[in-house]
Amino acid sequence: MAKSQSPAQKATVERVMHEFKEGELRTGSDGAKVKNPKQAIAIALSEAGASTRETPKRNKTALARTKGKEKRGETAQAETEGKKAQDRTLAKGARGGKKS
């Protein structure tokens, strides 16, 4: 584990572990549910770019990819909470829509 993590990394690790505890975390290769806590921690650190086993460049890339996924609402947690649908509704309202 990294000695110190940025706030963005901490938030990502927290989200991934929450997905694991809720049974929503899946592996990237075949989409199977993650049942092993050690595997969940490895996935969390990898997504957060806080792995000590990766190069700094690879960690930075992983964090950027994860933050983009979170902004688009493509995480299991966002899908469960209906964030995608909420974002679409808010985006339609922001465009102006019909005026009466």
- Domain assignment of residue 55, yes or no: yes
pTM over 0.75: no
C-alpha to C-alpha distance for 63 and 12, rounded to whole angstroms:
8
- Domain assignment of residue 99, yes or no: no
- Structurally, the chain folds into a number of domains equal to 1
- Domain assignment of residue 21, yes or no: yes
- Domain assignment of residue 58, yes or no: yes
> For residue 98, what pLDDT is reported?
55
- Could you list the residue range(s) of the whole structural domain that residue 84 is in? 7-94
> For residue 44, what pLDDT is reported?
92
In this predicted model, what pLDDT tens digit does every residue of 27-48 receive, in sequence order?
A: 887 889 999 999 999 999 998 9
In this predicted model, what pLDDT tens digit does every residue of 36-91 receive, in sequence order?
A: 999 999 999 998 998 888 899 999 999 999 889 888 888 887 877 776 666 666 66
- Domain assignment of residue 2, yes or no: no
> For residue 3, what pLDDT is reported?
66
